[in-house]
Amino acid sequence: MSKSVIEPGATVGFVGLGRMGRPMAARLAGAGYRVLGYDVSGPAAKAWAEHVADGGVAGRGAALAVSGLDEVADGAAAIVLMLPDSAVVTDVLISQGLLAALPPGTVIVDMSSSAPRSTRELAGQAAARGVALVDAPVSGGVRGAEQGSLTVMVGGAEAEVRRVAPLLDVMGGRVTHVGDVGAGHAVKALNNLMSATHLLVTSEAMAAAAEFGLDIPTVLAAVNTSSGRSGSTENKWPNFIVPRTFDSGFALRLMLKDMRIALDLAESAQTPARLSAAAVALWATAAEALPPDADHTEIARWLDPALRPESP
């Protein structure tokens, strides 16, 4: 297979059609790619199949629902993975045989939030078969996936990143090549460690503000034109916590997983990580106390029971 740039018209296999993956795959089809979508989860696969059957993908491409990984690999120039973690990525590629089914020249784009060391190991196994692996995790949530405004952090060889750039541009509003393979996953984990720590301290500060008798939206408005502002004050608190919906679409346990990856990077590098370790410990305690499917914004209601969703 030629190592040309993978432009609209090419076939792309897409594995992982959850809340993030489905709109991302739909955008690729809408941009002119032939997308072979697969998910091991019955409900996710059914939702994709219904989306395709209902004409939910508009554009010049084609969206197809396939029933197995062998079909995902059939004629695909690229395989996009949007899976929960490195263990699932390894299982799909190695144990379930997707890598073995790919011809030389194919490129795998792992957009999952994976562990960088595992990514580098998989890239080595892929290279031995003539297959390239690029890591391209994202930030921006479900809304960003739907709008194509995701930030994409890309790790990989320059030539392979250029090959998949057209695909990434369809899904992302800002695509940044951050280094060699594994670098994207490292930056994503570090970003989420920072984001989670911002959210935790913001939630502590807002609890103190409320106890002092202050109006939270007014406090947030003041902070958002001041030096304390962050994604937590500008987006998460006003959009998901103040209205008590807690529905950002990103699970608390996935955030914790990314935080632990970042902490492992810091500890392996023997760089200071006392605040990081404390934040991970607090998020781990929250994960034990909250429901298994808790949204990550529910860290606020773990800190302050007054923020629990109101009863109907």
Mean pLDDT of all residues in the chain? Answer: 93
Which residues have C-beta within 8 Å of that of residue 250, sequence separation ≥ 6? 141, 142, 295, 296
Total number of domains constituting the chain = 2
Q: Is residue 5 part of a domain?
A: no
Residue 173 shares a structural domain with residue 242: no
Residue 173 shares a structural domain with residue 32: yes
Q: Which of 151, 180, 209 is the last residue in one of the domains?
A: 180
Residue 174 shares a structural domain with residue 31: yes
Q: Which of 180, 214, 239 is the last residue in one of the domains?
A: 180
Residue 54 shares a structural domain with residue 168: yes
**pLDDT greater than 90 at residue 2:** no
Strands 150-155 and 138-139: antiparallel
In this predicted structure, which of 49-58, 181-190, 236-245 has the lowest mean pLDDT?
A: 49-58
Q: What pLDDT sits at residue 62?
A: 85
Other beta carbons within 10 angstroms of residue 120's beta carbon come to 17
Q: What pLDDT sits at residue 47?
A: 84
Which residues have C-beta within 8 Å of that of residue 200, sequence separation ≥ 6? 279, 282, 283, 299, 303
Q: What pLDDT sits at residue 58?
A: 47
Contact 61, 31 (CB under 8 A): yes
Residue 56 shares a structural domain with residue 160: yes
Q: Is residue 1 part of a domain?
A: no
pTM: 0.90
> Which residue out of 46, 188, 236, 257 is catalytically annotated?
188
Residue 54 shares a structural domain with residue 175: yes
**pLDDT greater than 70 at residue 241:** yes
Range of the domain at 287: 186-307
User: Which of 116, 150, 266, 269 lies closest to 197, judged by CA?
Assistant: 266
Residue 137 shares a structural domain with residue 284: no
Residue 66 shares a structural domain with residue 162: yes
Q: Is residue 107 part of a domain?
A: yes
Other beta carbons within 10 angstroms of residue 293's beta carbon come to 9
Contact 18, 82 (CB under 8 A): yes
Contact 154, 178 (CB under 8 A): yes
The CA distance from 300 to 246, in Å, is 9
Instruction: Please report, for the domain that includes residue 31, its CATH number.
Output: 3.40.50.720
pLDDT per residue as tens digits for the range 40-93: 888 888 888 887 776 655 445 688 889 899 999 999 999 999 999 999 999 999
Q: Is residue 284 part of a domain?
A: yes
Q: Is residue 134 part of a domain?
A: yes
Long-range contacts formed by 121-127: CB under 8 A, 24+ apart:
122/89, 122/90, 122/93, 122/94, 123/156, 123/181, 123/182, 125/93, 125/94, 125/99, 126/93, 126/99
> Can you tell me the mean pLDDT for 188-209?
97
Q: Write out the two tokens for 72.
A: 């995902």
pLDDT per residue as tens digits for the range 201-231: 999 999 999 999 999 999 999 999 999 999 9
pLDDT per residue as tens digits for the range 98-146: 999 999 999 999 999 999 999 999 999 999 999 999 999 999 888 899 9
pLDDT per residue as tens digits for the range 21-38: 999 999 999 999 999 999
**pLDDT greater than 50 at residue 188:** yes
Other beta carbons within 10 angstroms of residue 127's beta carbon come to 13
Question: Exposed/middle/buried for 95, CB within 10 Å: 0-12, 13-18, 19+?
Answer: exposed
Q: Which of 163, 180, 197 is the last residue in one of the domains?
A: 180
Largest Cα–Cα separation, the chain? 66
The yes-or-no answer on residue 188 being catalytic is yes
Query: What are the two backbone dihedrals, phi and then psi, of residue 38, each rounded to the nearest 5 degrees?
Result: -145, 140
Residue 151 shares a structural domain with residue 242: no
